[in-house]
Amino acid sequence: MARAKVVWRCASCGHSQSKWAGRCPQCGEWNSLEEGAEQVAAPPSATRSAPVALSDVPLESGGEVRMRTGIQELDTPLGGGVVAGSLVLLGGDPGIGKSTLLLMALDRFARRGLPALYVTGEESAAQVRLRAERLGMIGSSMLVLAETDFEAVDAVVRAQRPVVAVVDSVQTLSLPGVGSAPGSVAQVREVAHRAMLLAKSTGTAIFLVGHINKSGEIAGPKVLEHLVDAVLNFEGDGSSTLRILRAGKNRFGASGELGVFEMGDTGLIEVPDASARLLQERVKGAAGTVVVAAMEGTRPLLAEVQALVGRPGPQTPGRTCVGVDRQRVIMLAAVLEKAGLTLYDRDIFVNAVGGVRLDEPSADLGIAVAIASSLLDRPLPPDLLVFGELGLVGEVRGVSRPEARLREAARHGFTRVIAPHSAGRACPPGLELIGVHSIGEVIAHLGGPEQRRR
Ligand code: TYD
Ligand code: MG
């Protein structure tokens, strides 16, 4: 009989190798390699599954069971509600509002007489009660379990069969059988794996809360993304009370769907009209600000992009970006340079206002126009909106769903839109579409490439 092969596995990041080493070559942790037996695949057996023609695969009776939380801005990114037996990871920076959001969701279930369980590994049950009461949940029938041993959580879920359970947080729960410390990658992975088995076998929908650790993402929720059914990220910047809930991966719905909340004294308030909220504090008539229309999932979202181009200085110019990809901004600056604007010796700052992230290429043209507007010190008319993708040779490319973007623009009182030429077909009445083919045309529209006196 072949002997079980010995492997050395890192308790911090899960890396495995055949030889011992003092330091893990993957994560750099010292003394983290532990000896263990290699997990070998199960031998072939008569019960192994056989392939079936796709059309002969029996459909699961009734399909998935969805339960609305009643919080629309949470149900939308989930794909229309919580799916029974699903495992959802809610990630976000500490203090962003993850516990608050899920407590509110559980309370909605409890109010409808559905059993809901909140497992806290971070706070005592009394602290959870105080927090819930501050949020206005008085006399809630929600069950609370203060526990850090996942085996105990497993037993409670199997006995009580809640419809929904929250495990807050995955980093504070652990399994005694796994040798490493709570919060290590090995533990986090194992807890998530067991939570998945628990959800699938009981039909309880389980939310795992995962703190995103900025300094070292090693034990962060990133390692779980492939394991869970859906990933929601709760985002927002420190300066704003806006909170954005974004679906990353979603096995039961579209990814990229968005929910928007405002943080208040008594909890999270839903923001159904995110565009209006994002444009609320806009400064009109200033150079360097542009409104863009992005698609977030199936929803159009109008957002303000601000750019500031600094004076030329002796030091190496920087590109500082918040809410937009820095590499993209460097590329856009190069395209603008080629189109006749001198930017190589200038600092450029770009900010997507309100803590939103504009990763969609349709924001390119808006970002470029904001930079050009700041450089040339020419404000844009307040009723003008810009969208379009920008290619490397300065061409303006078409984007998805132009009609939804244009409709959203018209709905919020915009009367002129600079957009790819092809969007013209989708223009609703009352909106003037300035269809463009290249960045050169857009700069000419701003008032030409001739630069002002430095
Ligand atoms: P919390 O939900 O604990 O964040 P997380 O679980 O992501 O770490 O919220 C952090 C703090 O902010 C907490 O003290 C409560 C407060 N808070 C409000 O006052 N109003 C709100 O709407 C939210 C979301 C939080
Ligand atoms: Mg919390």
Distance in Å, CA 94 to ligand 2 centroid: 7
| Atom of ligand 1 at shortest range from CA of 261 | 22
Nearest CA to ligand 1 atom 11: 95
Which residues lie closer than 8 Å to 414 by C-beta, 6 or more apart? 291, 383, 384, 385, 431
For residues 347 and 330, the answer to whether their CB atoms sit within 8 Å is no
% of the chain beyond a pLDDT of 90: 63
pLDDT of residue 1: 45
Q: Which ligand is nearest to the CA of 167?
A: 2
**121 CA to middle of ligand 1, Å?**
16
pLDDT at 5 exceeding the cut of 50: yes
Greater confidence (291 vs 39) lies with 291
Residue 203 pLDDT > 90, yes or no?
Answer: yes
Number of the ligand 1 atom closest to the C-alpha atom of 263 = 22
Task: State the pLDDT at residue 138.
Answer: 87
Query: Which-ligand-closest: CA of 123?
Result: 2
* Ligand 1: centre distance to CA 348 (Å): 34
Strands (E), 266-358: 267-270, 289-296, 299-309, 319-322, 348-352
Query: What's the rounded mean pLDDT across residues 416-430?
Result: 90
Ligand 1 centre to CA of 241 (Å) is 11
- Residue 354: the pLDDT is 85
In this structure, which ligand is nearest to the CA of 95? 1
- Atom of ligand 1 at shortest distance to CA of 100? 2
- Rounded to whole angstroms, how far apart are CA atoms 54 and 52? 6
Out of 86-100, 229-243, 435-449, the most confident range is: 86-100
The pLDDT value recorded for residue 281 is 84
Rounded Cα gap, residues 418 and 415, in angstroms: 10
Residue type, 50: A
- At 4 the pLDDT is 59
Secondary element (H or E) of residue 191 = helix 185-202
Distance CA 77, CA 253 (A): 8
Cα–Cα dist 95/149, whole Å? 23
Give me the mean pLDDT over the 254-275 stretch.
Answer: 90
Q: How far apart are CA 292 and CA 388, in angstroms?
A: 9
- Give me the chain's average pLDDT, please: 88
Strands 289-296 and 299-309 come out as antiparallel
- Cβ atoms 11, 34 nearer than 8 A: yes
Q: Does residue 40 register a pLDDT over 70?
A: no
Phi, psi of 260 (to 5 degrees): -125, 135
Kindly report, residue by residue over 348-384, the tens digit of the pLDDT.
999 999 888 898 999 999 999 999 999 999 999 999 9
pLDDT at 180: 84
CA distances from 84 to 69, 202, 353 (A): 12, 9, 36
Q: What is the pLDDT of residue 415?
A: 96
Bridge partners, 166 (sequence order): 118, 207
Lowest mean pLDDT among 38-47, 50-59, 246-255, 426-435: 38-47
Write out the two tokens for 420: 């790819």
The 10 Å Cβ neighbour count of residue 79 is 21
What are the b/e assignments for 49-68, b being 16+ CB within 10 Å? Answer: eeeeeeeeeeeeeeeeebbe
Q: Ligand 2 centroid to 380 CA: how many Å?
A: 42
What is d(CA 313, CA 84) in angstroms, rounded to the nearest whole number? Answer: 59
Q: 95 CA distance to ligand 2 centroid (A)?
A: 7
The whole-number average pLDDT for the span 231-236 is 90
Strand partners of residue 37: 6
Q: Give the tens place of pLDDT for each residue, 278-322.
A: 998 898 889 999 999 999 888 899 999 999 999 888 888 999 999
How many CB atoms are closer than 10 A to CB 450? 8
- The pLDDT value recorded for residue 16 is 81
Between the CA of 240 and the centroid of ligand 1 the distance, in Å, is 13
- Ligand 1 contacts (CB < 6 A) are 92, 94-100, 263-265, 267-268
For the cut 90, the answer to whether the pLDDT of residue 449 exceeds it is no
**DSSP H or E segment with residue 100:** helix 98-111
pLDDT at 448 over 70: no
Ligand 1, residues 74, 100, 233: which to mutate, most atoms within 8 A of Cβ?
A: 100
The dihedrals phi and psi of 267, each to the nearest 5 degrees, come to: 115, -170
pLDDT at position 155, please?
Answer: 97
The arithmetic mean of pLDDT across residues 251-265, rounded, is 88
Q: Report the range of poorest mean pLDDT among 11-25, 114-128, 282-296, 323-337.
A: 11-25
Residue located nearest, by CA, to atom 1 of ligand 1: 97
Name the residue at shortest CA distance from atom 25 of ligand 1.
97
Average pLDDT over residues 399-422: 94
83-92, 213-222, 291-300, 397-406: segment of lowest average pLDDT: 213-222
Q: What's residue 384's pLDDT? A: 96
Atom of ligand 1 nearest to the CA of 266: 20
Residue 454 gets which letter from DSSP?
-
- Single-letter residue type at 161: R
